[in-house]
Structure 1
Amino acid sequence: MASGEHKWPPISYDNRVLQHQRPNESRLLVLPTRRTLKSSNTGASATALGATLVSMFPDRIHRAVLDEVADSFDYMAGGWSTNVPDTDLEFVKLGKYCRLGGPINCPLYDEDGPAAIIERVAKIIADFVHEPIGIPGDAVIGPAIVTYNDLKRVFRDIVYHPLREFTVTAQILYDISQRNGSSFASYKRAYLEPRLDHAFGEACLSDEPYSEACGGDDGAANFAIACPDGQSRLGQTKESYREYARKIQAQSRLIGEEWAVIQLAC
């Protein structure tokens, strides 16, 4: 994207109708039975797991509600290619809730309404692509730099936890527009980088590796499960992966690039 273009994300506030409905997914299943198995999870993996559970144990399910974030056949094949068509609509909600929250609660507030807020966000992002921000160090923390690649990882998080992440994301975007990267650098150290700034305590010794006290899971186990479940990617060529990545990026400017990395790990 050229520095003067501000067309990100490619949606308008009035485009509120989901254009990519998958009619075979996210159905409400009501099966009369005296036994009910209750399960609550989130994400594409949970949708696929829920569909599998219903198929395997229909007599144990009274009602199952599956979120429309995955095509089970694509998911089981390891495609990861049908999950993000509606993801950019998150920013429609960002504009809406920022407007409702007002200037005190949302630093991106614009009295002209949600459409103006979205346009402002698009400009901030477009400028940041070419203009990362450096943050000087101090007596405790070394210097840092925040980039568009870091921001894409924040967008990935906001999709999974929109209500939790909206406030911090709005603040980060506002600070970026003011060429202040301090809040973003703090977020990056806390959530996007390995925790190397403190020694592990007694809780880590008692809770054992991969516990929250020891820094948590780095996500490697996810790929160890997801990759063998799907088709082998060991023979995948660079060109075939590029074609796949372009397809995913075209579905979502918000997290398309980050989502395409999932298959790369396999």
Structure 2
Amino acid sequence: MLPPSTAILLAGLVATTAGALFATNTEFDWTAIEPTEDLRYCDCFNGLRCARLKVPLDWNNPKDNSTIAIAIATLPASVPVDHPDYGGTIILNPGGPGDSGVNLVRLSGRHLQKVIDNNKKYDYLGFDPRGLGNTTPQLDCFGGDTLARNAYQQVLRGLGTVDSSEDALRRFLAISKGLGALCENTLGKSSIIEHVTTAAVCRDMVEMVDRVDELRKKEVALLKHRRGEQGITTQENQVPRLQYLGFSYGTYLGNTFASMFPGRVGRMVLDGVIYAEDYMQGLWHHNLVDTEAVVDYFYDTCYEAGDICPLRIPEDVNGTSIRRRVDQFIADMDVLPAYNAEGTSITALTGRDIRDSISQALYRPILSFPPLAQLITDALEGNFTLLTNTVTPDDIQTDCATGSQIFSGEAAYGIVCSDAAGSQTKHDLTYYSDEVKRFMSQSITFGAKWATIPFQCSGYLLAPMYQFRGPWVTPPADSSLKSGVPAAPLLFLSNRMDPVTPSVNANAMSAGHPGSAVVIQDSVGHCAIPAGWSGCTNQILRDYFEFGVVPRNGTFCAASCKPWQENDEGCNLLSFENNGGW
């Protein structure tokens, strides 16, 4: 889960460590690929295969000829599709909502291959869901006007946090209503914004599964024909099933798919679990249970690291004393903001900016705790360069080979608000004030920012065309591929402490899926697999995808990677490939 950017109203459920949600590549032009109703791959991204799959804009209206072109990138398996060790395709989703599956497979596909491949070898497929990234049309409420979007960001940044004053809250709600009107006016009804719900993406995934299976059968038949062998077997005539790995919001997507299409589930791993009913109701009350514990973990491990952590001073006696100093500094900066003047630029800095830096670092402690400690240490000493670099407004667009690529902000807005359509549009100021207090009572570090995720939907008045509102349940699994039921129980993963998807969510969601299991990894951060190398978790994943077996519910796995230490090869590999990729 990614908190709303300090510069735009967006929700997200996976944070990057490098800041850029969309990487660029000057060697590939998506517009050169013709969208087709079958999968037609071409080479891309140094060993990947890319395609654009044409699907209906509105799955419920066969008379509407409008279509979407879904961008797909696949890392091929290390064996041919007719090899006995070939295990099929695993579809990936990085979360967000609004994050790019194409980028996930580009930046982290080979790492996942090392984690999951064992006796069976898999293709890894990432796609950009409808409305965002390289999928067209994009959900762009500003009509391609970069200056207008950046001006909007500046206005948001100047509002102050929603907990700072009633005036700031009023203004935030007003501009949220303005965003709803802007999107409706710019895009119009019966446009992409009415067709970006999670349910619509689930239906897209059914199509992807079918087209992947269709292509596999064609390739197998061709290879067998060349060898003079017979065609497909009876087993291969079974209905195609999804193999899936979803992170954060991707767990809501997977949970929804399983509940809508239980007979299409082959394997499903959900890592960093969203509480589905809470998300669908637009409340976001079940996310910050462990947030302040992760903040304390930062200070406690800093103290334990000794001289490795620059934030620790001789007078400190524990992590609490470090936090007490920093909290006082944050409070002082809220009262008397600082400034940083470099070159021809001036930046005003408040305690909010330090809290934002802390909250972002909670997602990836191994990568982010050391630089966070240095940033705070510098600020305490009056050097605000590092802090300034974190609060300089992001450019909402990045240059790509095909021109400008829209950032995921409006797509995230459209997905979140259409999934929970109508949940935030009829409340008064008292309701929102009470909600701010609720979020702040959960987390003083994250609460004000987190509140803006549901609040941004106060102006979303459109009625989505395709919704799923639960229940999130499946019938018991049957490995014999019985029609209408999953082929294997669902597997839920969680860290021991997660700043935005606590482990209690995994247990709650698992209860709706008979035979499913929750695995808790002894690590801290957002989502277990990105949090650090765990031989125990990796083996569970390998056995699950190969055999469809889950471990005992509540299994606890140790992890090799911790912050403030020299990590082993697996952690270094994860850090390298995870740089902006999750």
Whether TM exceeds 0.5 here: the answer is: yes
Q: 1:162 to 1:241 in 2, by over 3 A?
A: same
Q: Separation in 1 of the partners of 2:428 and 2:359?
A: 26
> In structure 1, which of residues 129, 132, 135 is the aligned counterpart of residue 340 of structure 2?
135
Equivalent of residue 72 in structure 1, options 262, 268, 276: 276
Q: 1 CA distance for matches of 2:384 and 2:271?
A: 39
Cα shift readout 1:87-123 (whole Å, capped 9, x = no counterpart):
11112221233134332x3211245232332333323
The AA in structure 2 aligned to 1:224 is G
Out of 320, 331, 338, the residue aligned to residue 126 of structure 1 is 331
Q: Deviations over 1:166-204 (max 9, x none)?
A: 222212221222232222112222xxx1349xxx9xx92
3-state SS in 2 of match to 1:117: helix
CA gap of 1:241–1:37, structure 2 versus 1, over 3 A, is same
2:419 aligns with one of 216, 224, 229: 229
2:356: which partner in 1?
153
1:117 is matched with 322
> What is the CA deviation profile of residues 61-96 of structure 1, one whole-angstrom value per residue up to 9, with x for unaligned ones?
44534435x321011111112211211111222123
- 2:358 and 2:421 map into 1 onto residues whose CA distance is 28
- TM-score w.r.t. structure 1 length? 0.70
Query: CA distance change for structure 1 residues 40 and 183 in 2, over 3 Å: closer, same or farther?
Result: same
Counterpart position of 1:194: 394
Aligned with residue 262 of structure 1, among 453, 463, 488: 453
Corresponding residue to 1:39 among 232, 237, 245: 245
Q: Retained in 2: the 8 A contact 1:98–1:114?
A: yes
Contact in 1 for aligned 2:330/2:352 (Cα 8 Å): no
Partner secondary structure for residue 204 of structure 1: strand
User: Are the structure 2 counterparts of residues 57 and 109 from structure 1 closer, same or farther at C-alpha, using a change threshold of 3 Å?
Assistant: farther
Q: Distance in 1 between matches of 2:428 and 2:357?
A: 29
Q: Secondary structure at the match of 2:348?
A: strand
After TM superposition, list the pairs within 5 Å mapping 1:1-266 onto structure 2: 37-41=243-247, 43=248, 45-58=249-262, 60-62=265-267, 64-68=269-273, 70-103=274-307, 105-110=308-313, 112-138=317-343, 141-189=344-392, 193-195=393-395, 204=399, 206-210=401-405, 217=407, 219-232=409-422, 233-266=424-457
Give the TM-score, by structure 2 length: 0.34
C-alpha distance 195-71 of structure 1, shift in aligned 2 (>3 A): closer
Whichever residue aligns with residue 306 of structure 2, its letter is G
Distance 1:61 1:148, change over 3 A: farther
- What is the one-letter code of the residue matched to 1:131? L
Q: Pairwise CA RMSD of aligned residues?
A: 2.7
Deviation of 1:153 after TM superposition, in Å, equals: 2.6
Return closer, same or farther for 1:61/1:102 CA change in 2, 3 Å cut-off: farther
AA aligned opposite 2:414 = A
Based on CA coordinates, which of the two structures has the bigger radius of gyration? 2
Name the CA distance, whole Å, in 1 between partners of 2:446 and 2:400.
36
Contact 2:250 2:270 in 1 (8 A): no
More helix by share: 1
Q: Deviations over 1:244-265 (max 9, x none)?
A: 1211111111100000011221
- SS at structure 1 position matched to 2:256: helix
Distance in 1 of aligned mates of 2:296 and 2:359: 16
CA shift in 2, pair 1:218/1:148, >3 Å: farther
Q: Residues 95 and 152 from structure 1, CA distance in 2 versus in 1: closer, same or farther, beyond 3 angstroms?
A: closer
| Equivalent-residue separation in structure 2 for 1:57 and 1:218 (angstroms) | 27
C-alpha distance in 1 between matches for 2:246 and 2:436:
31
Distance 1:148 1:122, change over 3 A: closer
Q: CA deviation at 1:208?
A: 3.2
Q: CA deviation at 1:223?
A: 0.8
1:218 Cα offset (Å): 5.4
CA contact (8 A) 1:133 1:180 kept: no
After superposition, what is the alpha-carbon deviation per residue over 1:115-137, rounded to whole angstroms, capped at 9, x for unaligned? 33233332322222223211123
**Structure with greater strand percent:** 2
| Separation in 1, partners of 2:266, 2:356 | 36
Unpaired stretches in structure 2, ≥5 consecutive residues: 1-240, 458-582
**1:134-160, Cα deviation, whole Å (9 max, x unpaired):** 11232xx41222112323332332233
Residue 259 of structure 1 aligns to a residue whose secondary structure is helix
